[in-house]
Amino acid sequence: MKPLVIVTGGAGFIGSAIVWRLNREKIYNILVVDEIDNLKWKNLLGLKFVDYVEKDDFLENIINKKYDKIKIDTIFHMGACSSTICSDARYYIKNNFEYTKILCEYAIERNIRFIYASSAATYGDGSNGFCDDETKLEILRPLNMYGFSKHLFDLWAKNKGFLNKIVGLKYFNVFGPNEYHKGDMRSFVIKAFYQIKEVGKVKLFKSYHPDYKDGEQLRDFIYIKDAVEMTLFFYKNRNFSGIYNIGTGTPHSFNQLVLAVFNSLNLKPNIEYIDMPKEIINQYQYYTKADINKIISCGYNKKFTDFEKAIDEYVNRYISKNKYLADYED
């Protein structure tokens, strides 16, 4: 039997997309680890894997060395609490930081490839840049506990001298099929789609920054298919380690995003600008842009899906038809 590939968070958005992409490489000896819920399980339909384990049981198995007789090739650690509004700081530490430390040390001790999800949330408001230079980790100032929990592990891995053995990926604003279960944490593409379907217009936050007009706040949006392509680059090219940005390097405004959704539905744009809630004004990012020179210098040269085409595909091929990545062969 071929060596096992483990994907934690494997029923989630990026995790299930990684399983889907591995399947396209004819890799099926996959162990999916997650904390399943009443919607997330649908992401696994049509995917090929050998087993599923709940995350707490998996961690217990790791601690008790129950997988030591199995040849494990790679651990994609995508499992985490990704909510930016959870108020339980200790949960972030236990779930995002402590859990990741245990898996990382397990992998390193056994020479298992370890690829984990960090986050662009570690960059905070971006005033210290968006460069994935590990020598500058200490200057970053995340704006929320989620970003801090990810940043904490990045710092821990650096201080332990592990960043030359593992790969950390800072995902920017990923959108695409298989995010349907994420509730308020879904991308604004799908939120805009449902606003249009329900009320015929989209609401965007007003700008409170003199350099940005209403709706012109910028984000580095990346289509899920491009994000997992970049992720698997490090699965196939094992001589690279460290922290890397997963984004396009080209930011787009929320106005551009919403116009693309309206265009994909062949509807006239209708945008309303609303007040931003006071509790997020001081945590709001007006600009994100992934510096991707590092991954390019490693040889990554695949073109990104055109922004408008990606949104059109997502809207018309997936959301409108309630389809998932595994529902299509191509």
Q: Which of 213, 85, 58 is nearest to 204 (CA)?
A: 213
Catalytic residue among 42, 160, 182, 191: 182
Residue 75 phi, psi dihedral angles, 5° rounding? -115, 115
Residue indicated by tokens 């995010």: 179
Catalytic residue among 92, 99, 123, 146: 146
Helix intervals (H) in the chain: 13-24, 55-63, 89-92, 99-109, 145-159, 188-199, 224-236, 254-264, 278-281, 293-297, 307-313
Residues ≥6 apart with Cβ < 8 Å to 117: 9, 14, 77, 78, 80, 150, 168, 169, 171
Residues ≥6 apart with Cβ < 8 Å to 327: 46
Is residue 146 part of the annotated active site? The answer reads: yes
Helix (H) or strand (E) holding 73: strand 72-77
Is residue 42 part of the annotated active site? The answer reads: no
Q: Do residues 157 and 163 touch, judged by C-beta distance below 8 A? A: yes
Residues with catalytic annotation? 146, 182
